[in-house]
Copies of this chain bind each other. A is one copy, B any other.
Amino acid sequence: MAKNRLTTEEFKNGILAGEKSVLSRAITLVESKSVVDRKQANELVNSILPFIGKSFRLGITGAPGVGKSTFIDGFGDFLLKKGKKVAVLAIDPSSKISGGSILGDKTRMEKLVGQPNVFIRPSPAGLELGGVAQSTLESILLCEAASYDFVVVETVGVGQSETAVKEMTDMLLFLTIAGAGDDLQGIKRGIMEMIDLVVINKSDQIEKEILGKVKSNFAQALHLFPPRAAKPNVDILSCSALNSTGFDEIWQFILDYQAKLSANGFFEENRKAQKISWMNRSLIHLVENHIQNNDNLKANVQKFETMVSDNQLSPLDAAFQIFQLLNLV
């Protein structure tokens, strides 16, 4: 954000006018760690808040290799043809390791790249999960202000990134493929209960019998969880993202899901609860950062951790002593 810095007003007007270059620079602003940028980012996000809340936020997760990019490309194109504006964001804390996220290679979304009603933004490199998640949350808000109807948030599923995506989207889609046998590919502990829709991709490449078996396995697994009162039951659909088949059923599920959650008030309720959670989590994050950035506090915490590990100090007493060092008024 060196020269030609836009004023907050210029940012806001550009975003509301749907100017992609301004939106892009605004996202760079919210991703910045500099104090000056952060201050303007807060101002900007607050200024666009009256204009948000009109998009549908779709989270997409799944193991590497199931075809998430191809799916987003194909289904995004399907949404475009329905007259929707589509933004694609990514939560990928591993991008700092690989030097580039999956979405960094934008050529993998051939149908979407270059389309006027599409905005694609790769995950920022060099941030840990907490930072990526925070900037993605703010990026969603900016995209909403820029009138994108669908904000697709993709995660590659590193660490707790699915939880982060779940907590900032309206619906979580789990993309998978049928494996060699009847096992479920790519399921991670704790994911199952967060899923709103299962989609088995590359359905054209597997026999109907195997597809049926995989669907029935998922159905049985999902059957273990109590029925959901506020939301439609989890469905298990299939598609071939490459051949653009199966998208109609996914679209219908999303419409039904939206309709039910809007009618029973859970859509708004969930968004409010998400915002309060984000506030509380951010506060904890700030306190943790404060400790990590203060050499004296950090050294004390490390000392206490060692003592607690070695049974020299109880965990609760150690916490109390750190709390006292924080010297809260």
Contacts and interface: CB of A to CB of B under 8 A. Distances in A.
Interface of A: 42, 45-46, 49-50, 52-53, 134, 137-138, 141, 183-184, 187-190, 192-193, 217, 220-221, 223-226, 272, 275-276, 278-287, 290, 304-305, 308-309, 311-320, 322-323, 326-329
Contact of A328 (B190, B290, B316, B319): B290
A52 B290 CA distance: 33
A328 B284 CA distance: 13
Copies of the chain in the assembly: 2
Given A272-B309, A290-B328, A314-B46, A319 B279 contact: yes
Closest 4 CB pairs of A and B: A282-B319, A278-B315, A189-B193, A279-B315
Given A50-B311, A187-B224, A328-B287, A282 B316 contact: yes
Given A49-B313, A328-B290, A279 B318 contact: yes
Given A49-B311, A134-B316, A328-B287, A190 B193 contact: yes
A274 to B, nearest CB: 8
**Most chain B CB within a 10 A radius of its CB, from A45, A272, A283:** A283
Contacts of A184: 224
A287 B138 contact: no
Most buried by B among A193, A283, A316: A316
